[in-house]
């Protein structure tokens, strides 16, 4: 029997998937109606977290942040069964993940952070990715349990907090990607480009295939054989901003990128590949 704390869109979908696979699930949520709604699918809802976790071998969490995880686990602690394992799918700080791993071990319990790249539909269908790191013996034990609820369990090694860090990196990419798409749509609006024309382009041209090659170019440390000079990419960036301004549309992300380009041009890198702007940011 398992307990699940946090019945947002993701948690609710996880619970339904668990019930579909034959698990008995006890649930709790701060807004009680979200937990009781899962009783229609076979879950058992509780008014407080301590009661929800009683008798559970596994306690799953999908909450908001570090503070909410700490608060809910503190509230649930009185009901924890000896030997229970806490599996936290919440996106949190790496520092918080490390601290909780250590603190719960000192209290005689196991805490495993397992953030996810999964939306509600993925959780319900068992697709997407679960990220783990830390105690490799524990992960070997848990992986067969986690695998049915995801497309893949990605193990980033023995360092606690590494999975949390990787999750933050991935989310930064998603935020940047989405904000860039928003700016692109602003330019489409300014230039009277219709959505069917946008889809026509991206159905034929897949820039996503360039992510790994672009990362390799960014981190190569060699920028003297440009495929797109920084001066030229900056020129195009100005064209974006001019078109938007002339048509009363605001760009959110591109002006900051233009400032960074100008900084590197001022340092004498204008004739190099524009990926030189990442030169100072490459991890060791």
Tell me which of 21, 81, 105, 167 is the catalytic residue.
167
How many helices and strands, by DSSP H and E, does the chain display? 12, 9
Helix residue spans in 41-161 (DSSP H)? 49-53, 66-76, 94-106, 120-125, 136-146
Residue 11, classed as helix, strand or coil, is helix
Mark whether 167 is an active-site residue. yes
What is the CB-side half-sphere exposure of residue 67 using CA atoms within 13 A?
A: 0
- 225 DSSP 8-state letter: S
What is the CB-side half-sphere exposure of residue 281 using CA atoms within 13 A?
A: 7
Residue positions annotated with a catalytic role: 167
């Amino acid at each position: 029997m398992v307990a699940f704390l946090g019945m947002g869109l993701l948690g609710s979908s996880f619970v339904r998937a668990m019930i579909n696979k034959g698990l008995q699930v006890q649930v709790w949520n701060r807004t009680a109606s979200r937990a009781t709604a899962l009783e229609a699918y076979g879950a058992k809802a509780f008014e407080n977290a301590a009661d929800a976790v009683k008798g559970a071998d596994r306690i799953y969490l999908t909450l908001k942040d570090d503070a909410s995880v700490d608060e809910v686990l503190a509230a649930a602690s009185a009901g924890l069964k000896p030997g229970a394992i806490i599996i936290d799918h919440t996106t949190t700080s790496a520092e918080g993940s490390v601290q909780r791993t250590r603190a719960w071990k000192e209290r005689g319990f196991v805490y495993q952070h397992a953030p996810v790249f999964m939306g509600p539909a993925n959780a319900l269908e068992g697709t997407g990715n679960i990220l783990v790191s830390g105690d490799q013996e524990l992960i070997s034990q848990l992986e067969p349990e986690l695998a049915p609820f995801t497309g893949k369990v990605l193990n980033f090694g023995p360092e606690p907090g590494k999975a949390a860090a990787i999750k933050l990196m991935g989310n930064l990419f998603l935020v940047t990607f989405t904000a860039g798409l928003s700016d692109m749509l602003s330019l489409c609006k300014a230039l009277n480009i219709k959505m069917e024309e946008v889809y026509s382009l991206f159905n034929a041209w897949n820039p996503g295939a360039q992510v790994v090659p672009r990362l390799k170019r960014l981190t190569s440390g060699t920028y003297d054989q440009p495929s797109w000079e920084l001066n030229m990419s900056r020129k195009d960036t100005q064209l974006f901003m001019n078109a938007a301004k002339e048509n009363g549309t605001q760009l959110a992300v591109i002006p900051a990128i233009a400032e960074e380009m100008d900084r590197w041009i001022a340092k004498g890198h204008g004739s190099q590949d524009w990926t030189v702007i990442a030169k100072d940011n490459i991890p060791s």
